[in-house]
Every structure is written in C-alpha cells, then in structure tokens.
Amino acid sequence: MSQHRLYMGAPSPSGHFGDFGGRFVPEALMPACLELEVAFVDAWSDPEFVQEYRSVLHDFGGRPTPITYLARLSERIGVEVFAKREDLAHTGSHKINNVIGQTLLTRRMGKHRVIAETGAGQHGVATATAAARLGLECTVYMGELDTQRQALNVFRMELLGSKVVPVTSGSRTLKDAVNEAMREWVTCVEDTHYCLGSVMGPHPFPWMVREFQSIIGHEASEQLSERGVGVPDLVVACVGGGSNAAGVFAGFANTSARLVGVEAAGGAAVSNGSPGVLHGMKSMLIQDEHGQIEEAHSISAGLDYPGIGPEHSYLAAEGRAQYVGIGDEDVLDALQLLSQLEGIIPALESAHAVAWIVQEAGRDIPRGSTVLLNLSGRGDKDVAQVREILRGRS
Ligand SMILES: *Cc1c(COP(=O)(O)O)cnc(C)c1O
C-alpha cells in the first residue's frame, strides 16, 4: 500500500508531519504564528494572490528557470543528468521564490516591515531585494562572525536599503541569528513579518516555505515531460534547512522517482542527528546527549545548520526520501568538474549534490538512469573562498 500514500500534502492542523514539526514557541509568539497561518491559507487559496506571486517571479525573479541537459558530465559518468537552473534565478539562487511569496504576504497582511535571519547572507540579500522591490522596510539579523566572513553581502543588503544587525550571542553564527530574529519578532508583530529563510521553524513556516518553493518541482516536472524525459529515476538536491530540496521534491513526491537529499557530512542531521526541539520545531538535530546543539561544520556556509526541516525528518522516517552526507574535498572536486565540463560554476551548496551523483554513478545510481539535479545556486559568491583553498593546496 505504501506506494499509494500521498506525500508532501498539508501538515496536520497542529503543524505536524508525522512525529515532526509542531509549534514550540513562547506564548507571546503564538498569536503571530496563528495570524500567519490564517493569512497564508487564505492567500494561497486565492487565485489572485497566486497569480501575483507567479507574475512577480516571472517579471522580476527570472522564472521559469531552464532545465539544462549536462551532456559532457552525463557522458563522463554514464548517467543522464538534467540540471534545474535555480542558479539563473534573480539573486543567484532559489531563495527568491520564498522571499517573493513571504513579502507579498506581508503586504497582504497590512504590515510594512520584514525582519530576517541570515547565515552566509544569501537569504538576507534575497529578502532585502524583495523588500526593496515591494517598498517594505527590512532589518536582517546576522551572526557577528558571519558579518565579518561575509562582509560583501552585508554591503549588498545595505545597498538595497536594509539594516543589518550583528548578533553577538552564542557562537555568533546562523543559529544565534535565528534566535535573535525570533526574540525581536515578539516585540514588533503588529507591523512586522518574520521572513524565515528555509523549511524550518514553527508551523506554518515549514509548510509555507515549501509551498513557495514547490514552483521548482512543478516547473521541472512539466519541463521534463515536454522534452519527453518524463519522470526521472532520481531527484537530487543539497540540504541545509531543506528548502530547495523540498521545493524540487514537491514536484515528484507522488511519482516513482527516488528522492535524495545531500547534506554536508559535518552537519548531517538525518544520518548523525537525533530528534529534538530547536527554533520552534521538532526535527532531527545535531546535538550531544544532553540536548545541547552542536556546531555544524561545512565548507559551504549555506549548509552550516545543525538541523533540517521537519518534513525532511518525516520523509526520511517514512523511507520516502534518503539523506546522505558528502565531505568538503569531494565538493571542491565536483565544483571544478561541473565548471570545466559544463561551463556552470555551482554554489558550494549545490556542488554537494553534484558530488554525490558523481560518486554514486554506476554504483548506487545504475548506469543509464535519468537524474534531475537541482542546481540551487551559482558559485560567484564562493569563488574567492575556493581560490584561497585551492591556492593553499598547490
Ligand atoms: C541557502 C542555500 C542553500 C541551503 O538552503 P536550503 O534551505 O537547504 O535550500 C542551498 N543552496 C544555495 C545556493 C543556497 O543559497
């Protein structure tokens, strides 16, 4: 019977995907979460809102993004790889899909300001971009350490008219920025929406963000049909919080396609983690035996999150999707391989998915399989870092 189950529908009324998800927030945040849920359900069932979301993504966001057959890579590894080109979306990744949805919703709720957390700065830049476009005020919380490591993204956000607040608590990185943004949201919920960057946090965020990202999977499914490829054997995406993976999986969850999420080996929440509660959700987390959250380590700041969205924990528990880890060295090799064989410099995050495909072609991925690779973003943001690492080697 299991093949007749429907996956990636709405969560339960309490926001659960199986045992995972929920809404673990202080009492003061409950009204904001409930208001958001009602507003999202109302907007997403309103054809006018959906049309507006699609047309902003079309006229401004660079959608639809193409699918590119990776001929030389395919020939090299013996499996047929098609890339969904989120690297060509505005601001260079899939993040624009989510922030356009949430900023339009902000305006619809009658609020004039957004706040956001950011790690490497990609979600912060995307939010600042959407806020500028729609005329919203924007404040971005960013770990102080990350503001130093990603100084250019801080400048981009400021250039776009946003304010960046360095967060000095804890490890001064992404998880502290989320804590701070949630704390701040309590004090300003009347006029401010918290634009969360991935399929995580309290209900309805994991569901809402997946819905805004599902345009990736629905487009890809249509594009592959039009080309006569049909349903691919495999859909592969990198996983930080899990939004680009959830988005592309949504187009294929109820088909025969095998779904694989690739985490950074140093932050593999599904393989190395255990269930726990963080940032308002129950999910798989990297934590010690006392429930203390451990630092995630990855060459790519975008995968440096010690948890994973609750729906992914559910898909893993159900066996509908599989999650694997890839180490930094393989990622660097894959980034160079894709650049040299295909003329596409992928983001370090996306290179995790490439690396797993290259590693498993002819092994876990049978020869001749068709694979849809979600190329979540472009590598321009990473070239300085990659150059330093490669220089240090020679
Ligand atoms: C932020 C980011 C990711 C990780 O976030 P998810 O929510 O897991 O998609 C992956 N790739 C790129 C290019 C990113 O910017």
Q: Give the residue-averaged pLDDT of 170-186.
A: 93
For residue 79, the Cα-to-chain-centroid distance in whole angstroms is: 26
* Measured distance CA(216)–CA(84) in Å, rounded: 8
* Measured distance CA(310)–CA(136) in Å, rounded: 30
Average pLDDT, the chain: 95
Active site residue 225: no
Which segments of 189-308 does DSSP mark as H helices, in order? 205-213, 215-226, 243-249, 269-272
* Measured distance CA(200)–CA(241) in Å, rounded: 6
CB under 6 Å to ligand 1: residues? Answer: 93, 95, 122, 198, 238-244, 302-303, 347, 349-350, 376-377
Q: How far does the centroid of ligand 1 lie from the alpha carbon of residue 139, in Å?
A: 20
Ligand 1 atom, smallest distance to 198 CA: 7
Ligand 1 atom, smallest distance to 347 CA: 13
Nearest CA-CA partner of 102 in 120, 127, 119: 127
For residue 328, the Cα-to-chain-centroid distance in whole angstroms is: 19
Report pLDDT digits (tens) over 12-23.
999 999 999 999
Nearest CA-CA partner of 149 in 178, 130, 174: 174
Q: How far does the centroid of ligand 1 lie from the alpha carbon of residue 271, in Å?
A: 19
Report CA torsion sign: 336, 341, 343, 347. Answer: negative
Angle at 247 between CA 10 and CA 67, to 5 degrees: 145
* Measured distance CA(390)–CA(392) in Å, rounded: 5
Q: How far does the centroid of ligand 1 lie from the alpha carbon of residue 375, in Å?
A: 10
Active site residue 84: no
Least confident range of 125-129, 251-255, 286-290, 293-297: 293-297
Q: Give the residue-averaged pLDDT of 225-246.
A: 98
Report pLDDT digits (tens) over 88-118.
999 999 999 999 999 999 999 999 999 999 9
Ligand 1 atom, smallest distance to 93 CA: 13
Both tokens of 280, joined, read 């308002």
Q: Which of 37, 80, 86, 117 is catalytic?
A: 117
- pLDDT recorded at residue 215: 98
> Residue 171: how many CB atoms within 10 A of its CB?
14
62-93+214-393 topology per CATH: Rossmann fold (3.40.50)
* Measured distance CA(238)–CA(260) in Å, rounded: 8
Element (H, E) at 391: helix 383-393
Percent of the residues in the chain that have a pLDDT greater than 90, as a whole number: 90
Residue to mutate, 94, 199, 352, 354, ligand 1, most ligand atoms under 8 Å from C-beta: 94
Residue to mutate, 88, 198, 283, 312, ligand 1, most ligand atoms under 8 Å from C-beta: 198
Q: Are 140 and 150 in contact (CB under 8 A)?
A: no
Helices (H) and strands (E) in the chain, counts: 16, 14
Q: How far does the centroid of ligand 1 lie from the alpha carbon of residue 305, in Å?
A: 10
Report pLDDT digits (tens) over 278-303.
999 999 999 988 888 887 778 887 78
Active site residue 180: no
Residue 393 pLDDT class (50, 70, 90 cuts)? confident
Q: Whose CA is nearest to atom 13 of ligand 1?
A: 377
Residue to mutate, 84, 85, 95, ligand 1, most ligand atoms under 8 Å from C-beta: 95
CATH placement of domain 16-57+95-209: 3.40.50.1100
Q: Are 142 and 177 in contact (CB under 8 A)?
A: yes
Q: Which of 95, 111, 175, 282 is catalytic?
A: 95
Q: How far does the centroid of ligand 1 lie from the alpha carbon of residue 143, in Å?
A: 17
- What's the pTM value of the predicted model, to 2 decimals? 0.97
Q: Give the residue-averaged pLDDT of 172-185.
A: 94
Angle at 121 between CA 182 and CA 191, to 5 degrees: 40
Q: Where in the chain is the domain with CATH 3.40.50.1100?
A: 16-57+95-209, 62-93+214-393
Q: Is 323 helix (H, G, I), strand (E, B) or coil?
A: strand
Q: How far does the centroid of ligand 1 lie from the alpha carbon of residue 2, in Å?
A: 30
Q: Whose CA is nearest to atom 5 of ligand 1?
A: 240
